[in-house]
Amino acid sequence: MLDLGRRLAGLLRAGDLLMLTGELGAGKTTLTRGLGEGLNVRGAVTSPTFVIARVHPSLGDGPPLVHVDAYRLGGGLDEMEDLDLDVSLPDSVVVVEWGEGKVEELTEDRLQILIARATGDTDDDVRRLTVTGLGDRWVRADLDALKR
């Protein structure tokens, strides 16, 4: 999942929104950690549960990574405006955990990643991912870099 995050980072640019779906322990934060490495941003990516959103500035000249745990956002992602982040979302790569029902209204352009533990597999480390690109941004995007 870390490796996938690193490769996915190569496809991303400012303004992109990723929505990560999967049960607790699925690997959403682990994937985001790989993204942080690939985007070369500052700070350790950890679960943002107690801060709602954490901004990781770029160590180079790339976009910052904004890591959101939408679980405690009552309304939609527009509530993020009230969080006083010192970056603007259109200038950032925004990754949202637990965003179902909250981010869809905000933008038609988003990459949805559904993470499931592979059922019937005895190896607890195996994850099955469904990646769906929505909107103009993603409809023609080449996601082959994500395959092995």
Ligand X SMILES: Nc1ncnc2c1ncn2[C@@H]1O[C@H](COP(=O)(O)OP(=O)(O)O)[C@@H](O)[C@H]1O
Q: What is the rounded end-to-end Cα distance, in angstroms, of the chain?
A: 12
Given ligand X, Mg ion, none, residue 66, with its beta carbon under 5 to 8 Å by kind, binds: none
Partners of residue 134 on adjacent β-strands: 110
> Which residue has the CB atom at the shortest distance from ligand X?
27
Contacting residue, 8, 29, 66, 96, with ligand X by CB under 6 A: 29
> Which residue has the CB atom at the shortest distance from Mg ion?
29
Binding segment toward Mg ion, per CB under 5 A, in 9-17, 24-32, 34-42, 81-89:
24-32
DSSP for 56-73? E-BSSSSPPEEEEEGGG-
Query: Please, which residue, 29 or 112, has the CB nearer to Mg ion?
Result: 29
Contacting residue, 5, 19, 27, 56, with ligand X by CB under 6 A: 27
Return the beta strands (E) in the chain as ranges.
Answer: 17-21, 53-56, 65-69, 93-97, 110-117, 127-134
Say whether 116 sits in a helix, a strand or coil: strand
User: CB of 45: closest distance to Mg ion in angstroms?
Assistant: 10
- Among 128, 120, 109, 123, residue whose Cα is nearest residue 27: 128
The residues in 30-59 that bind Mg ion, with binding defined as CB under 5 A, are 47
Q: Which residues bind Mg ion (CB under 5 A)?
A: 28-29, 47
